[in-house]
Amino acid sequence: MLPRTSRVVVQEGPRQLAMRELPIPPIDDDSAILRIEACGICGSDVEQYTGTIPVPLPVIPGHEPLGVIAAIGDRAAKRWRVDVGDRVAVEAPIPCGHCRSCLLGRYHVCRGRGAMFAHGYVGLDREPGLWGGYADYMYLDPCSIVHKMRADLPASLAVMFNPLGAGFRWAVEIPKTGPGDTVLILGPGQRGLASVIAARAAGAERIIVTGLERDAAKLALAKELGADATIDVEQEDVARRVRELTDGHGADVVIEVSSYATAPVAASLHYVAMGGRIVLAGVKGFKPVPDFVSDLIVVKEARILGAFGVTAPAYDAAIRLIESGRVPLERMHTHDFELADAERAIQTLGGEIAGESSIHSCLVPDAG
């Protein structure tokens, strides 16, 4: 039986979160209610919290939800092939299905229903309101996208479908990484480590990860997860090390997932091999990139590819890998937080809590 109300975390302004109790809306034939088991905390949640990413307020944050179907309309059950009691991973976008982006297969950038119509980004005043994953229960729209998952894995592990999906799309699908490729990953955060796992699963020959001195533990973990070499960018000459590690060729694929810094974007042109691919996935606050030598793209015939978000094929690959149990993903998981600790969870990922270092963390509301 569904309770009448759900606890939700509401963001009311920059750095303003409050716990509320809101009614769980009725559903129709095409929608559903999800009982949240876990919701991943994302780097963009930190930016949303601080006000760097503008969102309609008030809003229930949380765009990486995993949960169990608590109630579902008959037609939705047929269309999605799930029923009450099934565990599903929910994609963030709620695409319209009809706009040009949707028709081109880029449904994750659909604007057919207004700016960023996605779980965690739709304002609370838009009916029926429970759009975000920082809650006990969430509304599933007729256009929400769900992926059924095995229910016997810990929720904090299963919810990694999201960062791991990014790894598969950014480090494999977009640059078409395959056997024989050397992959250089700039940045050892959640997405960088997910890129290591995905590139390894795709058969990459050599994987190299860069990081700062303070990232030593993450770089060690990168090796555990399949990296062959790591580079401390503060202590070593990265270009020289990349040349040494690649017999002078450079990297076939460079994945740029560092946060904010623009220098790695310019530097990636020096690391990439002839005919190589550079994937830019970390946003830089729309700053220009100094020292960007475009001639290097020309003479190397390199390709620069943008990556924004994840779509279904990469999520499917991530879910299959999680369910296979072949990779010690739990090594990436650092924190579970109660719903009431959402603010602390965001601040921990944002590095604002002294002595705490997060790689992957999630909210576990445990609605029971």
Q: Does 110 bind Zn ion (CB under 5 A)?
A: yes
Kindly state the smallest distance separating residue 308's Cβ from Zn ion, in Å.
11
CB of 143 to Zn ion, least distance (A): 9
Q: How many residues bind Zn ion (CB under 5 A)?
A: 7
Among 102, 198, 219, 253, binds Zn ion (CB under 5 A): 102
What is the C-alpha separation between 78 and 32, in angstroms, rounded? Answer: 12
Helix (H, G, I), strand (E, B) or coil at 53: coil
The helix (H) or strand (E) run that includes residue 308 is none
Strand 272-280 versus strand 303-306 pairing type: parallel
* Amino acid at the residue 178: G
Q: How many other C-beta atoms can be found within 10 angstroms of the C-beta atom of residue 275?
A: 11
Q: To 5 degrees, how large is the angle CA 334–CA 224–CA 38?
A: 30
Least Å from the CB of residue 153 to Zn ion: 20
Applying CB under 5 A, which of residues 17, 19, 77, 99 lies at the interface with Zn ion?
A: 99
Query: To the nearest whole angstrom, how small is the minimum distance from the Cβ of residue 203 to Zn ion?
Result: 27
| Contacts with Zn ion, 210-249, as mask; x by CB under 5 A | ----------------------------------------
Q: What are phi and psi of 337, to 5 degrees?
A: -125, 145
CB of 147 to Zn ion, least distance (A): 16
Per-state percent for the chain, helix, strand, coil, to nearest 5: 30, 25, 45
Least gap, CB of 168 to Zn ion (angstroms): 15
Residues 123-182 touching Zn ion, rule: CB under 5 A, are none
Nearer Cβ to Zn ion (44/268):
44
| Bridge partners for 125 per DSSP | none
Among 73, 93, 95, 165, binds Zn ion (CB under 5 A): 95
Q: Exposed, middle or buried: residue 296 (CB in 10 Å: 0-12, 13-18, 19+)?
A: middle
Q: What residues pair up with 10 in beta bridges, in sequence order?
A: 18
Give min distance, CB of 194 to Zn ion, in A.
11
Q: Tell me the residue number closest to Zn ion, measured at CB.
A: 42
Query: Looking at beta carbons only, is 124 or 362 nearer to Zn ion?
Result: 362
Residue 22 engages Zn ion in binding (rule: CB under 5 A): no
State the pairing for strand pair 5-13/333-337: unpaired
Site for Zn ion in 35-94 (CB under 5 A): 42
Residue 362 binds Zn ion, judged by CB under 5 A? no
When binding is defined by CB under 5 A, the residue of 19, 77, 96, 297 that contacts Zn ion is 96
**Nearest to Zn ion of 3, 56 (CB atom):** 56
Question: 277: exposed, middle or buried (C-beta count within 10 Å: 0-12, 13-18, 19+)?
Answer: buried
The crossing angle, in degrees rounded to 10, of helices 161-168 and 312-324 is 120
Where does this chain bind Zn ion (CB under 5 A)? Answer: 42, 95-96, 99, 102, 110, 112
